[in-house]
Amino acid sequence: MADDLDSVFRREAGPCTATLIRILGDIDLAEDAVAEAFAVAAANWKVHGIPPNPGGWIMLTARNRAIDRIRRESTRDGRQKTAARLQGDLMNSDHNPELDDLDALVDVVRDDQLRLMFLCCHPSLAPDAQVALTLRLLGGLQTAEIARAFLVPEATMAQRLVRAKRKLRDNHAPYRIPSEADLPDRLDAVLGAIYLVYTEGHTATFGVALGRVDLSVEAIRLGRVLGQLMPDEPEATGLLALMLLTQARQPARVGADGTLVRLAEQDRTGWDRSLIEEGHRLVRACLRWNQPGSYQIQAAIAAVHADASSSDDTDWSQVVALYDQLLTFSPNAVVALNRAIALGELRGPAAGLAALEAVDATSLADYQPYHATRADLLSRAGLPDDAIAAYDEAIALTTNATELAFLQRQRRSIPHA
């Protein structure tokens, strides 16, 4: 029973909150109402069982709770405030659905979730605030869970959420899907926030504390929701494909001794075939759109890796070509670094090093993978002294214990000149 309630909560909290924010015109009120409704549900469903439409049940209960609270508030204090809230914001919504007619809610709810995604990822908010709000309001995670996932104190995360919500309210941020003209930029922010959740989860996988929310799984869930809400956005599909294809390698990323296993050395029979199949299907859909973008290309690169039975078997010329294309969309040093790695595989370490030397390294000075890559290429190119120096730089920049152990092992394995 507890498990069921939990999964219902995860599924329904976002949509319910999204619709209630529009109906009530207030984020906090909606959040509280949904929390109260779930508390009521926990008690009620234990006796009567889960109703056939749990989402609708939660929505109605939350709405009624919110209305009760507004009535209480309006008799106790701030009659004007409540009146203004109801008049201003209720009238603001174009279509108030008949809440009793639950079927009629479905389409509206879909739009509400999109509205909420764009609100949470409003460009006036810093990325860490966007991510926190998205996980809280759309993902239905508790503040404490988000704090644990990002390894920050709960009070810090609570303050981050309060400040973000207050900023949106004080600034009169609109609750609507951005205009056609703004949509590309605004969608980029949403995709960026979801991918940030994913990469955070992906790097943190090592030494995961017990009971910590798996952010990778959460990001994929949000990516699926976005993909359903915006089925005609190739980049939304591309992001989901990228996450699925990366996630597919997860079982092979950690060795039996708990250490990081590089892509080249991973046991590919451990890769999750069903995630790869789904990722491939999405990449093919992207190709049919023929509107390439940075997430789609990254997904295509991941798909090439997924196709290969080993590193040697990888179509590296295809990978290099995709990185060349990616550079035209995202001309940055990190992409150039990854291109140099692929080139090193295609034409040998000397070619990889030459490509790496051509990258403007000023922005990469503190970027650990740059030094780790250089060290690896130098070592393979037969330059042990330079390789050791590069490993030392990489090691100095590494905080993650698993990665540290890996780099130290690599450094020790270099034959001395």
Partner 1 sequence: MAQYLLSVWHDEEYVVDFTTPDAQRTVAQVGAFNEELQRTGAWVFAGGLQPTSSATTIRCSGGNVSMTDGPYAETKEQMGGFWVIEAPDLDAALALAKRASVACEGPVEIRPMEGG
Of the two residues 86 and 173, which places its CB atom closer to partner 1 in the complex? 173
Q: Report the distance separating Cα 107 and Cα 102, nearest Å.
A: 10
Of the two residues 182 and 366, which places its CB atom closer to partner 1 in the complex? 182
The DSSP line for 219-262 is HHHHHHHHHHH-TT-HHHHHHHHHHHHHHTTHHHHB-TTS-B--
The neighbour count for residue 103, using CB atoms within 10 Å, is 10
Residue (of 116, 144, 113, 149) closest to 130 by Cα position: 116
Stretch of residues binding partner 1 (CB under 8 A), selected from 119-127, 234-242, 299-307, 378-386: 119-127
Of the two residues 168 and 191, which places its CB atom closer to partner 1 in the complex? 168
Tokens 């990185």 locate to 323
Residue 182 touching partner 1 (CB under 8 A)? yes
Degrees to nearest 5, angle at CA 216 with 212 and 218: 80
User: Shortest distance, CB of residue 170 to partner 1, whole angstroms?
Assistant: 5
Q: Residues 347 to 406: which contact partner 1 by CB under 8 A?
A: none
Of the two residues 78 and 123, which places its CB atom closer to partner 1 in the complex? 123
Residue 123 touching partner 1 (CB under 8 A)? yes
Q: Report the distance separating Cα 6 and Cα 1, nearest Å.
A: 9
Residue 101 touching partner 1 (CB under 8 A)? no
Residue 22 touching partner 1 (CB under 8 A)? no
Residue 180 touching partner 1 (CB under 8 A)? no
Q: What is the DSSP letter of 313?
A: T
Determine contact, residues 286/299, Cβ cutoff 8 Å.
yes
User: Shortest distance, CB of residue 172 to partner 1, whole angstroms?
Assistant: 4
User: Shortest distance, CB of residue 123 to partner 1, whole angstroms?
Assistant: 8
| One-letter identity of residue 78 | G
User: Shortest distance, CB of residue 175 to partner 1, whole angstroms?
Assistant: 9
Q: Residues 148 to 177: which contact partner 1 by CB under 8 A?
A: 168, 170-174
The neighbour count for residue 214, using CB atoms within 10 Å, is 15
Determine contact, residues 342/327, Cβ cutoff 8 Å.
no
User: Shortest distance, CB of residue 163 to partner 1, whole angstroms?
Assistant: 14
Q: Which string of b and e fits 245-275 if b means at least 16 CB within 10 Å?
A: bbbbbbebbbeeeebbbeeeebebeebbeeb
User: Shortest distance, CB of residue 235 to partner 1, whole angstroms?
Assistant: 21
Q: Which of 15, 178, 279, 349 binds partner 1 (CB under 8 A)?
A: 178
User: Shortest distance, CB of residue 91 to partner 1, whole angstroms?
Assistant: 14
Q: Which of 65, 85, 122, 136 binds partner 1 (CB under 8 A)?
A: 122
Residue 124 touching partner 1 (CB under 8 A)? yes
Of the two residues 171 and 291, which places its CB atom closer to partner 1 in the complex? 171
Residues 6+ apart with CB under 8 A from 359: 333, 336, 337, 340
- Please give the size of the binding site for partner 1, defined by CB under 8 A: 12
Of the two residues 49 and 123, which places its CB atom closer to partner 1 in the complex? 123
Tokens 């460009």 locate to 123
- Interface residues toward partner 1, by CB under 8 A: 122-124, 168, 170-174, 178-179, 182
